[in-house]
Amino acid sequence: MKNSISLVIMMFLCLMVLTACAPPVHDDPGEADQVSDSNALWTGSKDNHFSGKHNDFIDDLMLNGNVASGGNLDGLVSTQAPGCAVGVLKNGNITYLQSYGYAAVDTGWTLDTVSPVASVSKTFTALGVMRMVEENLVELDEPIQTYLGNAGEFADVTLEELLSLSAGVPVGSPNWTSAPSCPASMPNSASADWCLSHPRVAFDAIKDDISLEAQTDKYANISFMAAGAVIDQVSYDSDMVANTQRGYEPWIWHQLGHWADDYNVAGELISLALTHSWRHGDINPYADGFDCNGNCGNNPPQVGAWLDAGSHEGWWGPAGGWSMTIGDLARFVALIDNENVLTEDSWREMIDVRTNVFNDNNIGGIDYGLGVIVENWGNTPHVENIVWHGGDLAGYSSIWFYSTMQSNSYGVAIQCNSNGGQATSFGLRAYAQAINDYARSGGNIYPEQDIVIGFATQEDAAGPYLIDEKMTRLVSPSSLHLPWLMDQDIVLDITRLGRNKMNYTLFAMDVTEGRTRAQPSKVYALGTDRYVPKRFSRTTPRMVKLKTEAGPVQFNDLTFDIGFSKSGTHLAESRFSAVLDLSQLETEGRIDSWPRLCRMAKQLDGVTCQPCDNGTRSCLPVVYEFQATRLDREIRP
C-alpha cells in the first residue's frame, strides 16, 4: 500500500477524533479518485464493535452448514470458499457482521476486507439511473440516443428496456483484446486508464457491432454497460450535476456511497469502488479469488487479485465491476429499507416485474424488475415479499437479500472469494433464506457476547439490583437525547428457579434505606431464561408502562441483556432495549417534535421510526446501557 506509514498515522488520528477527520481524496490516472487508500479501513472502523462477537446459529451455518439438522447446505467456509463474510439486518438496522476464513493466502478475512460483488453492480447502476430520473435528468421511456447522440444499433432502445433486460441485447462479451485509443473528443485523451474508466467510451466502441435479437428476455451484461454509458454521458453534459459527480463512477459513489456528504453518517458506504487495475495493491486488505469448485480443502488455484491488469473493469463496472466491504454491502440493504436513496415511488418502479429472464444456457424463471430479482412482491397479507440480486465472477460470489412481511423487514448480505459449488449467487440465496427464516421464527440475530464471570453457584447471581439512573445512557440512537428520569426507582430482581434457570422480574418502587423489605407499586414479570455461564442472559420481550416525569410511558418489546460481575455486587456490561412512542412523549410535553427526532435518528444514526399500533410512524427503537448495584434486602410483590 502506498504511503502506509502516513496512512497508519492518519487512521490513528481519525479514530481518536472521529467527528473531525474524513478520508482524503487523492489523484489517480486522469481524474480525482473518490476512493482513497483509507476508505476500507475507515469503513472497518465503523464496524469494529462486531469484532470478536459471535452468533451461534449464523456462525454454525456459515462454517458447518445445516446438514446435521436435516438441511442440504454445506459449510460455506473451507469447503466452498477459502473465506466469506456475512451481514444481517432487521428493520433497516445491522444486527450482526462477521467474517470467516481467508481473504488471501495467509491473510484472514476481516471486516475491512474489500471484495468484488460482481453482478450486484447491476442494482447499483439501476439505482443510479433512478436517481437521475428523480432529478429530471433522464426518463425511463426515452430512447438512449437522446442522451448519447449516435447510439448505433441501440438507437430506439430505452433505459427501461436496458435495466429490465428486455431490449433484445444478446448474451456475450465484446472481443476487447486491447484498450482502444481515447476519442479526441474526450478529456485527457492521452490517458488509456481514463478511457477504461468510462462506459461511454466502451459503448461507442461496440454500438455498431451488436445486433439486437427478437428474444428480449436474456441476461445480457452489455445492457447495463449501455445504461452506465448514459449515466456517464448525462453526468458530464448536465449543468445540474456537481463537478465531483461527473462520470459513471463518481455519480454512483456519491448517490449510494457518500449520499449524505458527511463521512461520519453511520449509513454511508464509502468503501464502494470500481475494481480498477490501478487500485490493485492500493486498497488493502482485499480478497483474492480462488477456483474451489465446491472443494477448497486441497490448495485451490488462485484466480487472481481482483481483476487482472489487462481487464476492462471500468467498462464492465455497470454490469459487474464494483467492490466493497461486507459492512457496506449490508448498509446498502439498509439504504433500501430506510429509503435513504430513493423515494418509495421510485423503489416501487424498480421492483415492478417487467420480464422473466433467461440466462446464457437458455434457462428462465427469474422475474426481473429494474436491476433486481423479484419474488412474491405484492400486498398479500402473511406472504413474504423478497427482492435480491447476486453476483458471480471468476473467483468471487456475493448476494444482497431483502424481505418484508407485515411490519418487519430483514436483510442478509454475503460475500465469498470463490465461485462454484454452493458458493454461487443462487447458492448464497439458499444461505440467505436460511438466515431469514431463522430470524422470522424469532431466532436471535444479534451477537451473543461473552463476559468473564466467577460465580460458584447460580444462587450467587440471584438478588435484586437497583438500576443507577446516573449511570444509564442512550447508546442507540446515539445522537438523540431522550429522557430517562423515572418518578420511581427501577429494580431488576433475579431469582433462581431450578437447575440452570433464572427468573427475571422488574419492580417499579421507592427504595428506602434501612428497610429489610421493599414493597413495589408495580410488578412486571419479564420471563424465565436458561442461565448460561460466561454469557449474557436475555429476557423475553414484554410491554411495560413505567412512570416518568412526563407521566406513564409505554415501553414496547422491553428486553434486558444482563451481564453479571465477577464479584456478584453489580450487573456489568448490561443493556436494555425497547420501542418508545415519541408521539406520546410529545403529547406529554417531554419533547418538542417527534417527526424531527425521527428524521435525526434516521439521518445521523440509521435508526428508523416504526409504525405504532395506531398507524403513526413514531415508534423509535432505543438501546440504553446501564449499571445496577445489588441491594442487600428482600423484594416482595
Q: Which residue has the higher pLDDT, 531 or 583?
A: 583
Look-up: residue for cell 475494481?
Answer: 275
pLDDT band at 435 (very low <50, low <70, confident <90, very high): very high
Residue 16 maps to a domain: no
What φ, ψ does residue 429 adopt, rounded to 5°?
-55, -35
Distance between first and last Cα of the chain: 64
pLDDT band at 70 (very low <50, low <70, confident <90, very high): confident
Instruction: Tell me, yes or no, whether 553 and 486 share the same domain.
Output: yes
Cell of residue 289, nine digits = 479469488
The predicted model scores a pTM of 0.68
Residue 260 maps to a domain: no
Q: Which residue has the higher pLDDT, 312 or 395?
A: 395
Cell of residue 416, nine digits = 465469498
Instruction: Tell me, yes or no, whether 101 and 205 share the same domain.
Output: no
Q: Which residue has the higher pLDDT, 460 or 158?
A: 158
* Nearest-angstrom CA–CA distance, 486 and 4: 51
Instruction: Tell me, yes or no, whether 241 and 314 share the same domain.
Output: no
Q: Which residue has the higher pLDDT, 20 or 598?
A: 598
**Per-residue H/E/C for 415-458:** EECECECCECHHHHHHHHHHHHHHHHCCCCCCCCCECCCCCCCH
Radius of gyration of the chain (CA): 27
Instruction: Tell me, yes or no, whether 412 and 477 share the same domain.
Output: no
**How many domains is the chain built from?**
3
Residue 258 maps to a domain: no
Question: Residues 195-216: what's their mean pLDDT?
Answer: 79
Q: Which residue has the higher pLDDT, 226 or 15?
A: 226
In this model, does residue 96 exceed pLDDT 90? yes
Instruction: Tell me, yes or no, whether 413 and 351 share the same domain.
Output: yes
Confidence (pLDDT) at 637: 47
Residue 177 maps to a domain: yes
Of 31-45, 221-235, 244-258, 262-276, the range with the lowest mean pLDDT is 31-45
pLDDT in tens, 138-191: 999 999 999 998 898 899 999 999 999 999 888 775 655 444 555 555 554 445
Instruction: Tell me, yes or no, whether 602 and 553 share the same domain.
Output: yes
Helix (H), strand (E) at residue 503: strand 501-509
* DSSP secondary structure, 592-629, as one string: S-HHHHHHHIIIII----B--TTS-S-EEEEEEEEEEE
CA angle, corner 97, sides to 249 and 598, nearest 5?
Answer: 75
Final residue in a domain of this structure, among 440, 469, 496:
440
Confidence (pLDDT) at 552: 62
Confidence (pLDDT) at 19: 30
pLDDT in tens, 406-417: 778 999 999 999
Confidence (pLDDT) at 218: 84
Instruction: Tell me, yes or no, whether 279 and 379 share the same domain.
Output: yes
Final residue in a domain of this structure, among 380, 413, 440:
440
In this model, does residue 226 exceed pLDDT 80? yes
The answer for residues whose C-beta is within 8 angstroms of residue 203's C-beta and 6 or more apart is 148, 225, 226, 229
Instruction: Tell me, yes or no, whether 484 and 517 share the same domain.
Output: yes
Confidence (pLDDT) at 514: 40
Confidence (pLDDT) at 166: 92
Confidence (pLDDT) at 526: 61
**Torsion-angle region of 573 (φ positive above 0: left; ψ -120 to 50: alpha; else: beta):** left
Confidence (pLDDT) at 466: 73
3 to 280, 300, 357, 605: CA distances (angstroms): 15, 32, 47, 32
Cell of residue 206, nine digits = 461496440
Final residue in a domain of this structure, among 211, 228, 245:
245
User: Which residues constitute the domain of residue 186?
Assistant: 124-245
In this model, does residue 371 exceed pLDDT 90? yes
In this model, does residue 73 exceed pLDDT 70? yes
pLDDT in tens, 607-631: 889 888 778 888 888 888 777 777 6
pLDDT in tens, 50-65: 877 788 899 999 999 9
Helix (H, G, I), strand (E, B) or coil at 10: helix
Q: Work out the angle between the directed axes of helices 313-320 and 199-206 (0-180°, nearest 10).
A: 100
Q: Which residue has the higher pLDDT, 228 or 2?
A: 228
* DSSP secondary structure, 124-184, as one string: HHHHHHHHHHHTTS--TTSBTHHHHS--GGGTT-BHHHHHTT-S-PPSS-----SPPPPPT
In this model, does residue 498 exceed pLDDT 90? no
- Laid out side by side, the sheet with 115-118 consists of 115-118, 322-324, 273-274
In this model, does residue 30 exceed pLDDT 60? no
Mean pLDDT score of the chain, rounded to an integer?
75
Q: Is 636 exposed, middle or buried (CB count within 10 Å of its CB: 0-12, 13-18, 19+)?
A: exposed
Question: Residues 38-47: what's their mean pLDDT?
Answer: 73
In this model, does residue 398 exceed pLDDT 50? yes
pLDDT in tens, 513-545: 444 344 455 555 565 555 444 445 566 666 766
Instruction: Tell me, yes or no, whether 303 and 429 share the same domain.
Output: yes
Sequence length of the chain is 637
* Nearest-angstrom CA–CA distance, 458 and 238: 69
Instruction: Tell me, yes or no, whether 69 and 194 share the same domain.
Output: no
In this model, does residue 546 exceed pLDDT 70? no
Residue 145 maps to a domain: yes
What φ, ψ does residue 91 adopt, rounded to 5°?
50, 45
Look-up: residue for cell 481524474?
Answer: 31
C-alpha closest to that of 413 among 125, 84, 55, 110: 84
* Nearest-angstrom CA–CA distance, 92 and 89: 6
In this model, does residue 26 exceed pLDDT 50? no
The CATH number of whichever domain residue 618 belongs to comes to 2.40.128
Instruction: Tell me, yes or no, whether 235 and 175 share the same domain.
Output: yes
The CATH number of whichever domain residue 230 belongs to comes to 3.40.710.10
Confidence (pLDDT) at 603: 81
Residue 10 maps to a domain: no
Most confident of 137-146, 273-282, 368-377, 620-629: 137-146
Instruction: Tell me, yes or no, whether 504 and 377 share the same domain.
Output: no
Question: Residues 31-41: what's their mean pLDDT?
Answer: 55
Residue 30 maps to a domain: no
Residue 2 maps to a domain: no
